[in-house]
Amino acid sequence: MSDHNRSLLQELLAAQDAGEPVVLATVIRARGSVPRHTGAKMLVYADGRISGTVGGGEMESRVVREALAALADGRSRVIPYALVDPEQGDPGVCGGEMEVFVEPYLPPATVLVVGCGHVGQAVAHLAHWLGFRVVVTDDRVKLVDASIIPHADVYLPGSIEDALAAHPVTAHTYVVLVTRNIKVDQTALIHLLQTSAAYIGVMGSRRRWVKTQKLLLADGVAEAALTRIHSPIGLALHAETPEEIAVSVMAEIIRLRRGTGCEEVGR
């Protein structure tokens, strides 16, 4: 492996550790006169930045476009390209052909459970079983413990501010607020609405959510921002036990994640 490719792979691992989505583009076939040969690699980030090159010109621009599409749908693809027109941006001499394999590396889908009471424990257990990365937090520090929630990947006892600083929320994070009262929800939501979370669900009755909304609006939260919040949380399963509520919550998250829509409905 060349030093350049080794450096790119180290950069890829660093992006993974940081939870940053990135695409690895690799030349898997090259024939004729081409600017880069089999094994050449390039990284493409969500903001369009690149590191390395697979040849430049119109071909590389197409790879970047396909890489961004791969980040959006999570699917790998092979991009064939014929270098037939140097005047239109194709590098090198006419006649070359290339294929580039585009592979997205997305942050793991994470469920952040805010509140480690009975429902939070059930949600964490089910989310783990479903294959999500599970992060749990509560200002009641004694509850944020492996003896109570054995299957979490990250334990963040303390304030929501400290939790978010230690483990930033990304567009691949699904936040489940199952806390003990409105004031805790109010504080947490002020911070969570500033993140790019894919989902923010709040447990409680419709009456409780109406009161919470009034508090948030009084705090200066924009009314439009509140439309991001799903409350009452979960699908309408008439759930009663913590385990049943966990099923309704995770069902709503799965429906949203798989792209089949997610209506704001109660249990």
Please write the tens of the pLDDT for every residue from 45-77: 999 999 998 888 888 899 999 999 999 888 999
Q: Residue 119 in contact with residue 178, Cβ under 8 Å?
A: yes
Q: Residue 204 in contact with residue 115, Cβ under 8 Å?
A: no
pTM above 0.95, yes or no: no
User: Class for domain 110-257, per CATH?
Assistant: alpha beta
Q: Please, which pLDDT band fits residue 191 given cuts at 50, 70 and 90?
A: very high
Indicate the SS3 state at residue 63: helix
Return the higher-pLDDT residue of 184 and 91: 184
Convert the pLDDT of each residue in 129-139 to its tens digit: 999 999 999 99
Domain with CATH 3.40.50.720 in the chain: 110-257
Buried-state track 106-127, b at ≥16 Cβ within 10 A, e below 16: bbebbbbbbbbbebbbbbbbbb
Whether cis (ω within 30° of 0) applies to the bond prior to 242 is no
Convert the pLDDT of each residue in 199-250 to its tens digit: 999 999 999 999 999 999 999 999 999 999 999 999 989 989 999 999 999 9
User: Residue holding tokens 């009663």?
Assistant: 240
Q: Please, which pLDDT band fits residue 97 given cuts at 50, 70 and 90?
A: confident
Q: Please, which pLDDT band fits residue 35 given cuts at 50, 70 and 90?
A: confident
Tell me the residue length of the chain.
267
- Which pLDDT score is estimated for 264? 38
What is the side-by-side order of every strand in the sheet holding 199-202? 154-157, 133-138, 110-114, 173-177, 199-202, 229-230
Q: Please, which pLDDT band fits residue 265 given cuts at 50, 70 and 90?
A: very low
Q: Please, which pLDDT band fits residue 86 given cuts at 50, 70 and 90?
A: low
Reference 81, options 100, 68, 57; nearest CA is: 100
